[in-house]
Chains A and B, each alone.
Chain A
């Protein structure tokens, strides 16, 4: 039932807007119609008047026709030597104590229904019994990593509030317990397996938080080799680097989804860890992948903790199935995101949180009528954090037009680039990068050529004409083409490329826009009296000035670029040091100086960070110093250092293509 249903025959029957089928109104639902054919209760029932609404699902929509149990969070900490040594284990254990206070709960509830569990591992797994009546937690070691099982049922997943003292006791002890460990090897697939089995045994959906550091080389399923090979770059075999090494993770991901187990992975690599393999399960289960290269406590601590806190607290639904329905004439053909599809219509997600987006591609399979327009309904069945099964419905009605000009007018470039990026990144697994880049350029040219041919007023052939709504398409497209996933650069590791590829796959439109075209803000023009952000400038070196201070953010990184002759009062205000030379570029957090500049800048950074799924690490870059090279990579309109054309070059190239097409 949705607003698109047309009630007829005095309200006794209705016609479905999607398939045009005429149905009887069940007696309990009957309502008289008013003079314009609307039901009298039109505004009382959300499903008749609103685009989006949510049902509490009946038992028919539950697994095994049983109401689901509330979900669980399982924290799985890699306690191998490197994680112990760099203090990460201690940090995680320490911070979890406060973060667990904030696990999401329903607004009306006193405490969260989500239960928590703990596992540590290196090449074996340690389960912990943290039952509330125990004086001490108990540790159970499972060494049979070839065939992982859950050694305990009762006491593994507990209510945090009830077992708080035991859990704190455990978190206090974990760092000491493994302090003398010199175990370097880790396993990975068995860890996920263990978490999944635990959820399966408890018959509830849930989320695994895995804190992992190294390539899993210990003898176990999912064991990985270091197969990073720079020689493959720019060859037809480059795609192999983006594919998982074994199919263990693929089948594991399917199992996870089948049991509503979402995996969020925090990676702390110091060398190659094969993100393409490790990241597969998080991607397919609707989890998030975080990566902190060469984790250093004083530099990366804050970013990691923000991410962790954010990830624990964020709104999330579990064990979701989504279906997209359309009216006749077109249909959904392809889906991109943190999803798994076992058939062509059901989109399965072990979990979906507020930062995950699914991109859907529609294709015509018939003519659309201009009268009725195109209707889209997206229904998501999921389990809430308190264990309620719900059905969320989104409805969208779109106009149809036979005029191409109208079409071009209504196009949204940000959405387009999101779609192109996801489809290109998906294709990376199967096609050589060169081919993909050519296709992207080609498609851009086609779109623009089509406009020129059918909509634009006649003009000189040498003139490049862009539709108003698409004027930024070429620059975005160029950014996409220059992205390290599609264009290899020597200083970017294979892991980093696989990581970025994966990130983009689940991004929403706003995130992908920012990711491909970073925001560059001139800080020196900041109006300390206004709460408005300064107008962003184009990402080009030509926009920078020696007297300026610029803030650049792309959703993952944040840079504060300082021109050599930045105004001293700004430097004093922001850094509380007398001059440019005194600024310490090691910091990742601006000092809290009581000064309008500092406050304003920090507020701006806060706004940029807000609602971004990933915490951005701040890097201070001084003009003409070594780190500036990294910063320059993000000035996406300029020519890249290692290839990747500038915006102007790309425009010329596209123009040439268009001319060719038109001739």
Chain B
């Protein structure tokens, strides 16, 4: 159904929305039988160059429980100057100003407060690592908007909050890394409590007018960039001696707590990023993940399963408390963790996950992976604005046949109950509003709905259901903006119009939405349970939509709009999002973090890595992610989102070794070698976070990255059955037959 594919793509382009079903089953009962819930992937701030900001306030429905925004789907009676809300059917007066049709972005004027960047820097690093980090931080100052406020907290055994305003002597406030402090204590100790702060969101403070105490710690970049550059340059490794056999004492928990407390007391509800740079696990104080004895290793999945991770629960609790406070203040926390061993991302993940912050994991700060990823945070869009927004609230409104079941993504619930909130929760539910403290144009939420229309009250033919997404946010230009996306889809009766519904199934969106549900469950449930649940869902789906003759596996068919879905599920089962084998708890947390925030295209790459083949036999082409695709005369390029692997087949590798590429008569070989490198560069340039780039060949140790991903159709067991590629659909069928 090319038309539906186009329709889906057009919608995504325009609205940033992809629904699992694009024609909706009109009754509750039927909807539940569809297996894949009615849900959508929403990219609230999808980049739209053609979207001009409107300079006036949106027109709202006057019913207090509704307050939907006037949109093109509303019926407007121009003569009576009335419009009917398409969600609650309230009749409203048309405001004189608003006569044209609807636009998507509104700006709200008012006092603006600058963006805030608070660097929280670990000093328990190796010398060259620290040096690299210092350089990255110094460089970042030139990328910040000149009026942005910056602050610096460093930590090791102690936590130092650096005062930036003073001239001459450098001052810092020092805190013990072992003592948990309340927000009040932190503010008292930093001397932030005396001047009264206007707390309203609408009127954030202007530092120029009131010389706040906080200005000592947070200063406009243009004022102190020289000082701060020097200060960063003079940063020393944590001077406290570390004896043999010990880890350095690292007070990450207290440092974060102070960062959160500092912003909480000074700039609540203003866009702010806390950027945590750490090179190892927290080893003391609240939030410690491992003790300082090197002989006791950091927890592994094995320890966690055996309930043997003694610090995990307490640490997680600490960071969750911080994350929730940060979210309440509208700030976000980024974690840049660069170390060879684990750094406690498992415990700290909530800080980034709940606040919409970034999580970046690398081996060292002295790698291009970190340096470029970090730089990419400050890239700008075509308007010259940062690709970041702050303190967003997403308000979802539905027409009365639908209710909201929940959301999965970098958000927290705002606990707004209402008539359109379902009792059945999927993901973070029980609310119609969520807060997304940090988001960028690709931040994507999965939002799940429930059809509540009863079977016995059919919807008239041609009836349409509507959903409105209202996103209030602080634009990186510090303006408050509101983006309103209103969509509508047709209702269809399952009994009579099943084929319509089937054809409007978006298997890609469905796969990602189901995967999000699976990963969300995996955070709290045992791995095997989640896999079983996914399998059962797949089987039920195939049962419902597959066509087959009983007792005849070969007869099984799925229509085009479902054909890829089982394959996605197969790879999802093997993916690091659900399989923890061979991954550390930190890695799992890292992968899951990105899975829960990337858009559909990236998510699909994560579920099912892309494999391109380059050979003399033709132009580059995508090939099956299968071991049969690994051939001696091919170069393969695999993109797993987190890794880019270039793999030279056996023959190619030999040719290269022989140096054919340097001979003028074999220039075409040189081009063949170059082609995947160019393509990889292109991906590397665009992706955030920058993937790990692996260049390997047949027999190379790094080839394991490729080999672990492909479908093992050829193993030592069936090596002789060369070329007998088992169809992936058959795999799904197997599962079904064993039912």
Please determine whether B179 and A147 come into contact, CB atoms closer than 8 angstroms. yes
A139–B240 contact, CB under 8 A?
no
- The CA-CA distance from A134 to B234 in the complex, in Å, is 9
Residues of B within 8 A of A141 (CB): 163, 171-174
Within 8 A of A (CB), among B234-292: 234, 239-241
Whether the Cβ atoms of B179 and A144 lie closer than 8 Å is: yes
B169 touches A143 (CB 8 A): no
Interface string of B154-181 (1 = CB under 8 A from A): 0000101001000011111111100101
Q: Is the CB of A139 within 8 A of B171?
A: yes
CB-CB under 8 A for A138 and B239, given A143-B190, A147-B179: no
Please give the distance in Å from A319's CB to the nearest CB on chain B.
23
Among residues of A, the one whose C-beta sits closest to the C-beta of B188 is: A143
Bound CA span A136–B170, Å = 8
Say whether B189 faces chain A, with CB atoms less than 8 Å apart: yes
CB distance from A370 to the nearest CB of B (A): 62
Choose the segment among A24-32, A148-156, A584-592 that binds chain B (4+ C-beta atoms closer than 8 Å).
Answer: A148-156
Residues of B within 8 A of A152 (CB): 158, 174, 239
> Interface digits, A128-164 against B, CB 8 Å rule (1 contact, 0 not)?
0000001011111111100101011111000000000
Q: Which A residues are CB-close (under 8 A) to B160?
A: 140, 151
Query: Is there a chain B Cβ closer than 8 Å to A594's Cβ?
Result: no
Residues of A within 8 Å of B190, CB to CB, are: 143
Q: A74 near B: Cβ within 8 Å?
A: no
- Name the B residues within 8 Å of A170 (CB-CB): 169
Q: Which one of A124, A137, A155 contacts B169 once the chains associate, using CB atoms below 8 Å?
A: A137
- Is there an interface contact between A154 and B169, defined as CB atoms closer than 8 Å? no
Asked if B239 and A140 sit within 8 Å, CB to CB, the answer is no
Sorting the interface of chain B by its residue count into under 10, 10 to 19, 20 to 34 or 35 or more gives 20 to 34
Contact of A147 among B170, B174, B176, B240 (CB under 8 A): B176
Q: How far is the CA of A173 from the CA of B169 in the complex (A)?
A: 8
Residues on B with C-beta less than 8 A from A151 are 158, 160, 174
Which residues on A sit within 8 Å (CB–CB) of B179?
Answer: 144, 147
**CB-defined contacts of B234 to chain A, threshold 8 Å:** 134
Contacts A143-B190, A144-B179, A147-B176 known; A153 to B240 CB distance under 8 Å? yes
The A/B interface has a contact count, at CB < 8 Å, of 58
Residues of A within 8 A of B172 (CB): 138-141
Chain B CB within 8 A of A177 CB:
yes
Asked if A144 and B170 sit within 8 Å, CB to CB, the answer is no
A127 at the binding interface (Cβ < 8 Å): yes
- B176 touching A144 by the CB < 8 A rule? yes
B175 touches A144 (CB 8 A): yes
Tell me if B170 and A142 are in contact (CB < 8 A). no
Known: A143-B189, A144-B175, A147-B176. A154 touches B239 (CB 8 A): yes
Chain B nearest CB, measured from A142 CB (Å): 5
| A 21-49 binary contact with B (CB < 8 Å = 1; else 0) | 00000000000000000000000000000
Chain A residues with CB below 8 A from B175, complex form? 143-144
Which residues of B lie under 8 Å from residue A143 when comparing CB positions?
A: 173, 175, 188-191
Q: How far is the CA of A218 from the CA of B240 in the complex (A)?
A: 31
Chain A residue with Cβ nearest B176: A149
How far apart are the CA atoms of A155 and B170 in the complex, in Å? Answer: 14
CA distance A147 to B169 in the complex (A): 26
Residues of A within 8 A of B174 (CB): 127, 140-142, 151-152
Chain B residues with CB under 8 Å of A140's CB are 160, 171-174
Q: How far is the CB of B646 from chain A (nearest CB, A)?
A: 47
Q: Mark A103-134, 1 if CB is under 8 A from B, else 0.
A: 00000000000000000000010110000001
| Nearest opposing residue in chain A for B174, CB measure | A151
Q: Check if B176 sits within 8 Å of A136, measured CB to CB.
A: no
Return chain A residues, CB-CB under 8 Å to B191. 143
- CB 8 Å contact bits of B189-227 with A (1 = contact, 0 = none): 111000000000000000000000000000000000000
Residues in A whose Cβ lies below 8 Å from that of B188: 143
Q: How far is the CA of A68 from the CA of B85 in the complex (A)?
A: 84
Q: Which residues of A contact B189 (CB under 8 A)?
A: 124, 143-144
Q: State the Cβ distance, B612 to closest chain A Cβ, in Å.
A: 54
Whether A136 pairs with B168 at a CB distance below 8 angstroms is yes
Q: In the complex, A446 Cα to B363 Cα: how many Å?
A: 87
Nearest residue, chain B, Cβ from A148: B176
Complexed CA–CA distance, A564 and B360 (Å) = 89
In the complex, what distance in Å separates the CA atom of A658 from the CA atom of B595?
102
Give A126 to B163 CA distance when docked, in angstroms.
Answer: 13
Bound-state Cα–Cα, A173 to B158, Å: 25
> Which chain B residues border A134 with CB–CB below 8 Å?
234
- Residue ID in chain A nearest B231 by CB atoms: A138
Q: Report chain B residues within 8 Å CB of A154.
A: 239
Complexed CA–CA distance, A201 and B241 (Å): 11
Closest to B189 in A: A143
Report A571 CB to chain B, min CB distance, Å: 52
Interface bits B649-689 vs A (CB < 8 Å: 1, else 0): 00000000000000000000000000000000000000000
A142 to B174, CA, bound (A): 5
Q: A128 — nearest CB in chain B belongs to which residue?
A: B169
Q: Are B239 and A155 in contact (CB under 8 A)?
A: yes
* Distance in Å: Cβ of B223 to nearest Cβ of chain A: 19
Least CB distance from B160 to A in Å reads 7
Query: Which A154-208 residues have C-beta < 8 A from chain B?
Result: 154-155, 170, 173, 177
Please, how many angstroms separate the alpha-carbon atoms of A314 and B160 in the complex?
38
Query: Please, which residue of chain A has its CB at the minimum distance from the CB of B170?
Result: A138
Nearest Cβ distance between residue B403 and chain A, in whole angstroms?
50
A139 with B239: CB separation less than 8 A: no
Which one of B169, B190, B241 has the greatest number of beta carbons of chain A within 10 Å? B169
Query: How far is A66 from B233 in the complex, measured between Cα atoms in Å?
Result: 38
**Of B169, B173, B240, B241, the contact of A138 (CB 8 Å cutoff):** B169
Q: A139-B172, A141-B173, A153-B241 are in contact. List 6 more A-B contacts (CB 8 A).
A: A134-B234, A136-B169, A144-B189, A151-B160, A152-B158, A152-B239
Pull 7 A–B residue pairs with CB atoms less than 8 Å apart, ordered by A: A127-B174, A138-B171, A140-B172, A141-B171, A143-B173, A149-B176, A151-B158
